[in-house]
Amino acid sequence: MTESVLEAAPSAASAATKAFAKINLTLQVIGPRSDGYHEIRSFVAGVDLADEVYGTTNVAGTAEVCCDDPSLSGPGNLAHRAAVRLADFAGVSPSLRLQIRKRIPVGGGMGGGSSDGAAALRICRTLWGLDVSDGVLASVGAELGSDVPLFFHLPSAVVSGRGEIVESRRMCWTGWAVLVAAGSSVSTPEVYRTWRREECPEVGLDLEDRVANARSAAELMALSRNDLEPAVFRVSSETAGVFSELNRRGLGPIRVSGAGSVMYRLFDDIDEARAVAAIVRDWGMNIRTEVVAVPAGPAPVLCKERMNGDY
């Protein structure tokens, strides 16, 4: 196995990319599975809010991951685990120094950790000169997190299974989203644990086609749904409070992304999006807002070639 993936591509001295975030335009929970996960279907779009991920090889031949949020540095980071897993798969040493500049809210349902993991795998492929496809990287990543494969299929995709089965799916619409991040991170396992089937509305079989063909933000918001939303509100009263307040002030419709806590509303017009974001910012509470382009991604891996004397 290992010889076929080694040295077929030139290795690089350093490599960098952007790790985009995602929002779930739809998220249907079909039901619990025997392996502890839930079967889902989701139409997902990348958004132009990204962590910056920069890697070089490491003389020590080991993996090191540093993040500007120190709580995310070290071997617990999914990017670290992904690099070690890929090195093991390819039969090389996990020679990597990775720096992550965090922009995506942590525990916000935007797939930030998984996107960093996917970015790390693409960076390692470049640094180590491995001849492996995106499909192989995605399946290495899927062992570490259900959302990792999705980030090899941006700008938009339909995911199924526990989230790891991904099919790229173009959308007709392009526009803007206001993201509202209301403080604390929400635990995905806890949200899934408190999910209730009776809270999920019926859905037409053509939902994903309708999302793919929608032409306006209003049409998309009307189609959007998230079966995890009631569970997110049970787990995070803070998210529930901000969601109600946004609706009470006529700033809806609002949708929660994934297992929360970030909420979004789509707009056709950037000025309208900025105006709504400014109103929310003016509340003066601990709420972060961003206006981002949708859909977005993927970002190329930019690299500096290895020079004589580099290792």
The secondary structure of 153-168 as a DSSP string is S-SEEEEETTTTEEEE
Establish if 43 lies at the interface with ligand C5P (CB under 6 A).
no
Nearest residue to 160 (alpha-carbon basis) of 1, 37, 16: 37
Closer CB to ligand C5P, 108 or 163, in the complex: 163
Q: Which residue is nearest to ligand C5P (CB)?
A: 146
Q: Residue ranges of the alpha helices (H) in 157-236?
A: 188-193, 207-213, 217-223, 229-235
Q: Which residues make Cβ contacts (< 8 Å) with residue 202, sequence separation at least 6?
A: none
Closer CB to ligand C5P, 5 or 164, in the complex: 164
Between CA 37 and CA 244 the distance in angstroms is: 29
What type of residue is 116?
D
Q: How far is the CB of 8 from ligand C5P (least distance, A)?
A: 31
Nearest residue to 121 (alpha-carbon basis) of 110, 132, 105: 132
Q: Which residues make Cβ contacts (< 8 Å) with residue 296, sequence separation at least 6?
A: 20, 45, 46, 47, 48, 50, 154, 155
Q: Which residues pair with 258 in a beta bridge?
A: none
Active site residue 18: no
Please identify which residue in 38, 81, 97, 169 interacts with ligand C5P, judged by CB under 6 A: 38
Closer CB to ligand C5P, 163 or 230, in the complex: 163
Q: How far is the CB of 284 from ligand C5P (least distance, A)?
A: 34
Q: Which stretch binds ligand C5P (CB under 6 A): 19-27, 35-43, 172-180, 263-271?
A: 35-43
Closer CB to ligand C5P, 188 or 257, in the complex: 188
Establish if 126 lies at the interface with ligand C5P (CB under 6 A).
no
Establish if 225 lies at the interface with ligand C5P (CB under 6 A).
no
Q: How far is the CB of 122 from ligand C5P (least distance, A)?
A: 19
Q: Which of 18, 22, 51, 102 is catalytic?
A: 22
What type of residue is 212?
A
> Rule CB under 6 A: which of 61-80 touch ligand C5P?
none
> Rule CB under 6 A: which of 134-153 touch ligand C5P?
145-147
Nearest residue to 178 (alpha-carbon basis) of 269, 92, 291, 46: 291
What type of residue is 35?
D
Active site residue 22: yes
Cβ 18 vs Cβ 50: under 8 Å:
yes
Closer CB to ligand C5P, 37 or 54, in the complex: 37
Can you give the binding site for ligand C5P, defined by CB under 6 A? 36-38, 40, 145-147, 162-163, 188-189, 192
Known catalytic residues? 22, 147
